[in-house]
Amino acid sequence: MKVTDILRFARERGEPVFSFEFFPPRTEDGVRQLFEAVEALRPLAPGFVSVTYGAGGSTRARTLELVTRLKRESEVETVAHVTCAGASRQELAQVLDELAAAGVQNVLALRGDPPRGQRVFEPHPEGFRYASELVAFIRAEPARWSFCVGAAAYPEGHVETRDLARDLAHLKLKVDAGADFLVTQLFFHNAHYFRFVERARAAGIALPVLPGIMPFTAVEQVERFTALCGAEIPPRLRAAMQVRREDAEGSLQLGVAYAGLQCADLLRRGAPGIHFYTLNRSPSTRAIVAALRASEPWREG
């Protein structure tokens, strides 16, 4: 099923969509754990799960393998990340053909990150520089590829484009090229999300915008991620993190509790769902989604 249909059916029922992002593990034991995590999430009725590429397109083959296996072996809808990084047009066409042949209906079209150790993104000589070009490439052959196409959105601006107006103009290019839905970068201050949605609507972007939430499990972990993506850590949250820096269990509890409060507020105020950055671990997200389904904050809005 296409993500747009999943979102539409959920909206008609007055319910949110919960989705979960995983990255390709490096070992077979990691793959086993990933499938166990997805299986553990099934009772919570996930809308879809997505599988990322590594930086520079480094896990392309493993991503294809995992997405097709999840599509074939589980009852959960899948979204495959497809990035411009390190790929020619011909290679991207081959990836899209393989996904279509496997019955995958959804892709998240991204520029991608530079390879590890490289600070500046360099496009493949025969590839694309921008995600908007990849979206247009997919849309150019509708008879060949009929994917539902998602795109990334950055409530605080892309780490390389902190000018919010310029970043929104880049997003508009992706939307105009044919994107169907948006998933945001992680954030820890809900005001960023709601201000971003207001700006997007004012710019004529009417697509569903799924907020991305990461229930962190360790202080060093969240500091590393925010340094890479440029997300702000609110002062009160940072102070609470500092107190628990050497307390592994306390850090985990803080991450789950804070993400749960974020999600409840987002859903109460009209977000269409939550996209969880799981870091390939399901206990934290399972606890949050179970609590949200029990309390149904979206019915309080």
Whole-number Å distance between alpha carbons of 278 and 264:
18
Report the SS3 class of residue 152. strand
Tokens representing residue 220 in the block: 């060093």
3-state secondary structure of 179: coil
Question: For residue 110, what are the β-bridge partners?
Answer: 83
How big is the CA angle at 264 (ends 261 and 70), to the nearest 5 degrees? 100
For residue 2 the two structure tokens come to 């296409």
Of 21, 77, 133, 156, the active-site residue reads 21
Per the annotation, the verdict on 21 as an active-site residue is: yes
DSSP alpha helices (H): ranges in 180-282?
Answer: 190-202, 219-229, 235-243, 248-268
* Cβ atoms 153, 200 nearer than 8 A: yes
24 and 52 Cβ atoms separated by less than 8 Å: yes
Half-sphere exposure of 52 (CA within 13 A, CB side): 20
**C-beta separation of 233 from 241 below 8 A:** yes
Residue type, 94: Q
Per DSSP, the residues of 81-146 read EEE-TT--HHHHHHHHHHHHHTT--EEEEE--PPPTT--S----TTS-SSHHHHHHHHHT-TTT--
Rounded distance between C-alpha atoms, residue 278 and residue 213, angstroms: 9
Catalytic residues: 21
